[in-house]
Structure 1
């Protein structure tokens, strides 16, 4: 009971890639995939579940325990299992093998400087389940992207090698292998038809206007609006949609100059939204996102003079931009 109370207070620290270097975790390149998606049967696909657990190391026989804890805590067993596999390198890390700790939970008794030791693996899974309940149910971090943005943020000081970018696609890959999510998941992505402002503190630095390009010095029509933002602040999906492009906008791609850019397709409005100049992209092509999901981090890549989000609303996939300001209800300065 003491361990469970402690983990309810201190958040889960997802440190797979740090543990990989410290504890010798072995991860396959095949584990990194596009979005995990939903279970086609609307529940746990037991054939996929059982097949995936055969390679799960010391977690191999813990499928029933994970489902039991997930039911008790009101969380998706698929998500629980995928995160456990991620944290332990398929049940092979020293933390889970030697300390019965499948969730990377730190020990408050040592000032959170060491990984907590549990008497049994079942006890470790119970503690991990409580902490996941707190994050998913209480805090509302009910998607992989929301969890990743909190637990493996991109660009933070304790991730100097930029490894946190792998967390979301790796967990999604494991979800896919397990047969797809069985909770908080929908195969539809039509959207609501009402966009939200894609940043938390909107400060429009350039509007949908004719101007001199600040990088090239050439007159142009600015095809979106720019939100000046702190570096690495969150970029949110303006509505439900599907990722149709996510990557560096190189010359010839149709997205040259945008730097790291995401394009979402919104079926309800038959429109697309574009998010440019990002420092880090948290989604993959084909992934379904929900309104408000954190999809990237503000940066200054591509043709940019400082950290900001370039945001567009398009009537066509590769053009037909309209002024986002009246749609979002924001005022522009120029």
Structure 2
């Protein structure tokens, strides 16, 4: 919308009634005839006949109750009313052309992605440069808003979200499981002799959503020894919970898949293989109407390959199987 932002838009004086606009075809015919000072040349530009141009302008004049052109034998000349109207109409069409050009440029040259913060920062961003190298003509724009974005509004091309994968008017492809398990820094785990059973979590600060912690203790058969989460902390974004865990501030309930690199580097340890899945996983989604767009097809192929590679490198762990409470 840069053209609209930069252009000076005239506002109607306060109290002036807003009348219904005339048909766009008639206005377009007037603009071309006024600019070219010829019905014939306007007809050639708009792929119409001179008679059709004349008819459209007569319709416009009848609607306004004004004569816009003086018809001379070999040319047309704007009347005073036509001269008053022509500059504003020309400016309006320039604004429209600028707006449509901006939209077309974004549609062709930009891939706009909206994704949840944690999967964006921990998994997508470290890989996204590889895709941009393959599609060097594309500008990549990433949004990490938590609220769900309506892709049908056109501001974004694709979305990476968690949920069921069933959304009206959307095509969705499964990417990764939304799995959670306790993650802790090695130093904190060793400070009290290690974490071997759920009972060892008692007295520790728990980071993350209390509801997911409860589900994990319930599903591994350790509800009786579950510590209170009231003294814990929930930063609202999983990535922040893990950052605190790496700093030794507590034990995060987080995805071992999204933080596989931190586990591999020894910044975190996963004491238990068991995980819980509060949703059906992470999905790539986009409007079904845009499924054939070249940039969306290319991104989908690349992202699904990346997801398969990540799953193969980190096999899906056991889910909801009981472990001794200790």
Please confirm whether the aligned pair reaches a TM-score higher than 0.5, indicating the same fold.
no
Say which structure is richer in helix.
Answer: 2
Q: Based on CA coordinates, which of the two structures has the bigger radius of gyration?
A: 2
The TM-score, its normalising length taken from structure 2, stands at: 0.22
The TM-score, its normalising length taken from structure 1, stands at: 0.21
